[in-house]
Structures are given as structure tokens and as C-alpha cells.
Structure 1
């Protein structure tokens, strides 16, 4: 049995799309993928995020090995924009004389909603599920024709997908749905070596953490075996990059708890 020598650019030649890539976890994942050699396309939603997206791209393109990177604006909660985002990504690859291959898709874009059961409206349901679940499904469908053998789909779920938190029913259930899609897609797509996995972060120091009730975060920190703290963006990004690379090629249909041991699966 021969073991391959590790490369300092293990994702060289790969192209990755990271949704919700202008800030927080998405920005960290995009940068770490680029550090490992991937060309990166980040997707952001609102005009106010354009500057943040530009900042991420600037950090990536300033790396010593000069990876390619771009940002694309698109609202993945709509029916049409997921395919438009992929079309724009393909046009960008063509303009850089690159094959129309997307090797890695990180479905990170998501939205939270803190609201008690009795006050949830159909509009609230649509706001959460249209992005967290349908958006991930539609952009994955759009990527599929351009996903070569050995592709990687990584869904960013949450420990909330397997926990019960008051007033977070829509968010937690949407993340459970994403886990279910992960397992089914892994069963469908594995014939050519494509893997599909989910990562379930616990609380991570990022913008989204500010939207979670403080008592939930404090309780999670107290129950986290590793140092009684929240995680960092870098710690989650490294797990995602492992799943994006060759070292994880025998892992599919799995949900990895990235929570410092708060959730043990």
C-alpha cells in the first residue's frame, strides 16, 4: 500500500463555490480553501455585503500562490438565482481559460429566526426554508452537470439539527432537513467517487452568534468539554477543507459534529 506525500497545496487545480461567503464561517472557509490551492467563487446576497465580499477576494488573491477568486451576487432563496449564480461562475471560468468544472460546493448560506411557535407565520417558514433547504437543493442541482468524478458537496448544518432549542424551531428543523438531504445525495452520487457530507458547527464566534439568545450560548459553553468555549471560524474551516480534499474520499453521508464535544454523534 502506497501513501501519497502531503502537498502544501492539496486543492491545487480545484474550483470551489462557497455560498454565504462574504462573512463569518463562509469567508473563513473560502480563504482556507484558497490557502490550500483552490480557485474560489463566493456567493453573497445583498448589496451591503459587496464590500465584505471584495475584502475576502482581496485577501485570497493576495496569497503568495495567487489563486483565482471572484464573488457573485445572488439571492439563493429565490427560484431562479441559484442557476444564474452557476451560469455566472461558468462564464468566469471560461473567461479565465479554465474548464467548466466545479469540484467543491459548500452550501453555507443560511438564515436564523428566533420566534416562539405560536407566532410563526407562513412567511417566516418561507424565509427560513427557502434559503436553508430549497436554496441548497437548487444550487446543488445547478452544479451537478459540472461536478466531475470525485466531487465534494459539503452542507453546513448545525448542532441545532439534532437539539431542541426554544424559539428556534424553524432554524433547527431546517438544519435537520439539510442532514437528511446529505444522506440521500450521498446515496445517489457516490458511483463516481463524489462524496456528500454535512458539518454541524456548535456556537462559533461570528456575526450569526449575536442572533442566538445568550442563555443558549452560555449553556453550550458550560457543556463543551474542550475548554468550555465557543469554536472559531478557523476550526470549522479546517474540517470543511479536510472534507473537500482527497484524504476524506472514503467518508460520505456523514454528519460531523464540530462542537468541541458539546454534541457527540
Structure 2
């Protein structure tokens, strides 16, 4: 069984992902600001309260001494602001990038001593962050941050290639989450969080055998 860290586990895809992998027998470290009862009650889940907009991973580093190794990280947490570009402030950009990019880098750094040959780091990006994809007004901070994390995974894959640590990004299309409702009010996605979580769970466990430094679009719709 694997030791897996998942961020953004309070709701949506992250919550479903943590439950599914824990039900399968894996040990999960769930990081989010709030902890749902479904995770607190699960014997295979350890929950730590972390605010990724001002990340302090000292508790994570302390906990990892008991694990001694990390098999997979799923950087699932995300922040979004929907504003016209002219009204998007520097603080808006900084807040979105702190969660969507800087926290990804900081958590990965904290875990480096525990990542071994065969470990897999997965960043959940967005199809809106992919070069050449359709873009939507009001998402300049969000979509550009998701583009940045894709490039970060590509760079880390090259830097840690000799150690056998794989880094990949999944660019998700629409999934019926609270974040989608915020970005596209009234839009109904054809995919539910539990369905996408099943795909991500399999990829986190097995994708490193086939991919490294890659971006995989996982989208059946526009948006």
C-alpha cells in the first residue's frame, strides 16, 4: 500500500480522491483548511489543517518522519477569482499564485527527502492553462497560474529524472464542483467529482510508469 499526500481535501475532487484511495487501503495525508467528517472517521486518513494561501509545512515535515517515504503527492488544491482583468488587483494575483503555484513548490520541497525512485508528483491543472486552448474572460489570474504549474512540473521532471521521481500535470476540463459553479454560474458539467477522482487515483498510482514531465488534458467539454 502507498503513502499519498493530497491537498484540497475539504470538498469536491480532493475529498472524493482521499476517500477512494483510503478505502483501497492506502495511507492518506489530507491537507486542507477544513476537515470533513468523512475523512476524520477513516482509519487510513491523517488530516492536517493547512492554509495554502500562507503555507507553513512544518507540521507536514514533522509527520513525514513517521512515514519515512512518500509514494505520491496530488497537488489538488486550487484558488480562483473571477474578475475582469482591469479589476484584478496585485493582491488577487498574489493570492491565486500562492495557492496554485507557490504552495505546490513549497510542499514539494518539504517532501523531497521522502520522495524516492518510483514516487509520483501530480499537479492538478486546468485546460484553461494549456497553451492554445480556449480562454475565458475574467480568469486571467487563475488560468495563468495553472499554466505556470504545468511548466513547473515539466522542469522538476527534468531536474529529478536521475532520482527516478516522476512529475506530471493533469489539465482538467469541467467537473461539477463549487469552483466550476463560481467560474461558470449555471453551467452543468457532465462529470462528477467522484468520477474524476477515480481517474486521478489510477493516474497517481500508475501514471509514472508511462509518463514523466508530461501534460495530459483530461477534458471532454468546453469549458
Quick one: distance in 2 between partners of 1:188 and 1:167? 34
Report Cα offsets for 1:37-80 as digits up to 9, x if no partner.
Answer: 310010012xxx23x2x32242x43xxxxxx211000112225x
Task: Find out whether 1:89 has 2:77 as its counterpart.
Answer: no
1:251 is matched with which residue: 201, 211, 214?
211
Q: What's the C-alpha RMSD, in Å, of the aligned pairs?
A: 1.9
Gaps of 5+ in 2: none
Quick one: distance in 2 between partners of 1:42 and 1:113? 24
* Larger RCO (CA under 8 A, 6+ residues apart): 2
Report Cα offsets for 1:2-29 as digits up to 9, x if no partner.
Answer: xxxxxxxxxx1x1111011121111111
1:199 is matched with which residue: 161, 170, 182?
170
Gaps of 5+ in 1: 1-11, 62-67, 219-228
Q: Please, what TM-score do these two structures have when normalized by structure 1?
A: 0.77
Task: Provide runs of 4+ in structure 1 moved above 4 Å.
Answer: none
Q: How many residues align?
A: 220
Mapping for residues 1-265 of structure 1, pairs under 5 Å? 12=1, 14-45=2-33, 49-50=34-35, 52=36, 54-58=37-41, 60-61=42-43, 68-79=44-55, 81=56, 83-90=57-64, 94=66, 99-162=67-130, 163-214=134-185, 217=187, 229-246=189-206, 248-260=208-220, 262=222
More strand, by proportion: 2
Post-superposition offset of 1:230: 2.5
Change in CA separation of 1:42 and 1:236 when aligned onto 2, cut-off 3 Å: same
Quick one: distance in 2 between partners of 1:262 and 1:253? 25
Give 1 or 2 for the bigger CA radius of gyration.
1
Q: Please, what TM-score do these two structures have when normalized by structure 2?
A: 0.90
Quick one: distance in 1 between partners of 2:53 and 2:185? 28
